[in-house]
Amino acid sequence: AQSVAQPEDQVNVAEGNPLTVKCTYSVSGNPYLFWYVQYPNRGLQFLLKYITGDNLVKGSYGFEAEFNKSQTSFHLKKPSALVSDSALYFCAVRDARVDSSYKLIFGSGTRLLVRP
């Protein structure tokens, strides 16, 4: 069965500092991994995904994520945080096996708070 863990309920960082939001996953086959962001009273917006190839994936708004197969992790990073990055972030996984379903499983979310 697929599962995602986001061990931190909240991450606090000062504006201009680097940020990391952690995600680990479990899936039977190879993973397809995704990060989404949710602003207050809004739906989820796609940030980036890992499919195959380069372990470092670049996405929207200057975010990037690093896939580490041995640690089954897909941490979200940004070199310099902005106050406007404050939001709820979700990691998600889908099993890449051809015969698996399209089920997309999410973590519990991490609230990012960037202080001025």
The two structure tokens encoding residue 94: 């889908």
Q: Shortest approach of other proteins to residue 66 CB, angstroms?
A: 18
**Minimum CB distance to other proteins smaller for 78 or for 94:** 94
Q: Shortest approach of other proteins to residue 16 CB, angstroms?
A: 29
What is each CA distance from 4 to 32, 98, 101, in whole angstroms?
12, 20, 17
**Minimum CB distance to other proteins smaller for 46 or for 80:** 46
Q: Shortest approach of other proteins to residue 99 CB, angstroms?
A: 10
What residues make contact with other proteins under the rule CB under 8 A? 6, 9, 32, 34, 36, 42-46, 49, 51, 90, 92, 94-96, 100-109
**Minimum CB distance to other proteins smaller for 70 or for 102:** 102
